[in-house]
Structure 1
């Protein structure tokens, strides 16, 4: 990709790569083992200005674009998929508040960018994941306040967040047209954090369930129009899918690099296993699909930067990249043989971490539905 990215993008990529190789990768196993939010790593990313990479300069960001954000995500996720996941949250929060928030909400952006304010987003519920329109969390209007009641599941950063953007029904009888987004400070009475979830992979993200027991917030905490948050969420999902695609891409790239290195070092039947055609074919397929995924992601990101709709392209990038990453990380583990099953090798962690990418930000079955509907409209 060196030939088609700008000098500025190359400089930011190199900065992210240096951080990933020298700071993140050496502690990735510790983060995975301890399953504790790595605040030091989070602040290191903030200090380099990475959280504002796609945010306009007049909003306090670097004034770059979605393509650059995808490049940074790939590099960070090469070092740790979990840290890549952590990188995406403030990037998306700052963009969301800048696009939809009031001047009051935008005052949070500097803190999000420098890491002093940790934000989270709460959409999914225990009984409602992909079916966002059926959520049951209610925000009823009482004078100049909203009173929020309900539970949210799988809230990334839920244990450590200072503020949460909560999606709730302000008109329970109007389906997806009755959903609003409300900013909730976590020190308000009635906000209850559950225990940290014990997950297969993606450790260190302080993920938990959050219960809202008659939590009162000012009406001014409403982000965007009342009953208009479903459309806001769907638009945000498009950018989020580019981030998740790039995260899976970074992990697949790391797996391929590890597989190649191991195949050169490992000797069987008197020669390095890289010299066997069976191994070469697996690595060739990795290289092919990783290159194709990178092009799909950057194409969708470029369209996003041009202000074009990308529901189709974001779904295609997310579906292809996360599916291929799952396959090729598994094949990279296979190349490692029994060693790949050991936590002494990074591939074991990559194998666990990448599985979430096919579920997160819309399952890959949902992506297929989106693609089919979009293509059906195009060629009807």
Structure 2
């Protein structure tokens, strides 16, 4: 995916090279939230990339956001995932939040994220068990045990799901300010990959918010999630996995070109088996890029297959990234186990998309349902 000249002109390239890249290994090693990188991205307008121009945002679309996520993912997966979840939240906030919040996001001063997955329903984000109930003075009280929240304890706000307050329907969405009384991060995140993205459990115990914190209509949160949030999340997840895949292949190519078999006076790149293995991995990445482009084309033209393509892209991307990561690890051999090659960190980051909701298995089921004319969800 070609870089956007506008983004480069606004300093994105410099932020990646001068702030994100030098910190990436430390963010991973120490499990440290990439505050400096997020702040720098905000300063050059990237937090407001999807915000409407009317509130000072860039008014960009998913193509531009995908360029940003792909580039960041190959450099620092944790920073990329923080921004990916922020963009997914902004799709709701720019439509339903107050103008003050929207302007703060557009100005790069407000980081948001999604708080959907729950302990009681796991990766079935479409079935929250957390509740919303009336509070004092026209307020609302939220109670929930969220299982995975990216930027937990770091975000300025959370797009929070619950059962409806009073209406029918499976879900309502709320804007919950960070630091709200009763909102708690339940332990530090010590993950296998994406180690700096602060994906910790969170709990809400009688968290009081105002009734106007409702994002959209009561009971209509699932429709909002499926129509607005999920397409953004799935497509940007595809771009994330593509970015990690490309970074892995870049490192494999460098290893093959620079590593020599002295007794043969040849590089590994001159070995037919190594070339064959690399070509097969390259083919997987190119097929993923072509599918991502086809997804954008279907969405932008409103073609009937757009929904299916959106459901397919994260599943394909997640499996491609994981399989290419495994292939690069084998191709580079023992050298890939050393941190300095950059393969090991990206190998771990590549596996995250497989198990991130909706999981590959759930998406396969959704795709099958879509192709066979069945509803995505069974009626309760």
When residues 43 and 308 of structure 1 are mapped into structure 2, their CA distance, relative to the original with a 3 A threshold, is farther
CA distance in 1, matches of 2:127, 2:249: 41
**1:227 to partner: Cα distance:** 0.5
> Does residue 1:136 correspond to 2:129, yes or no?
yes
When residues 51 and 285 of structure 1 are mapped into structure 2, their CA distance, relative to the original with a 3 A threshold, is farther
Greater shift after overlay, 89-98 or 349-358? 89-98
**1:302 to partner: Cα distance:** 3.6
Greater shift after overlay, 178-187 or 316-325? 178-187
State the TM-score, normalized to the length of structure 1: 0.90
Equivalent runs, 1:162-311 vs 2, <5 Å: 162-170=156-164, 177-235=169-227, 236-268=229-261, 269-270=263-264, 271-306=266-301, 310-311=306-307
**1:49 to partner: Cα distance:** 1.4
> Is residue 24–residue 75 contact of structure 2 (8 Å, CA) maintained in 1?
yes
Q: How many residues align?
A: 368
Equivalent runs, 1:1-380 vs 2, <5 Å: 9-12=4-7, 16-99=12-95, 101-102=96-97, 104=98, 106-142=99-135, 144-170=138-164, 177-235=169-227, 236-268=229-261, 269-270=263-264, 271-306=266-301, 310-377=306-373
When residues 290 and 194 of structure 1 are mapped into structure 2, their CA distance, relative to the original with a 3 A threshold, is same
Greater shift after overlay, 348-357 or 291-300? 291-300
Deviations 1:125-144 (A, max 9, x none): 11312323442211012461
Q: Secondary structure at the match of 1:377?
A: coil
**1:179 to partner: Cα distance:** 1.2
Q: Secondary structure at the match of 1:223?
A: coil
> Is residue 128–residue 170 contact of structure 2 (8 Å, CA) maintained in 1?
no
When residues 184 and 171 of structure 1 are mapped into structure 2, their CA distance, relative to the original with a 3 A threshold, is closer
Tell me what 2:378 maps to: none
CA distance in 1, matches of 2:289, 2:247: 14
**1:81 to partner: Cα distance:** 1.3
When residues 317 and 237 of structure 1 are mapped into structure 2, their CA distance, relative to the original with a 3 A threshold, is same
> Is residue 51–residue 102 contact of structure 2 (8 Å, CA) maintained in 1?
no
Q: Secondary structure at the match of 2:310?
A: helix
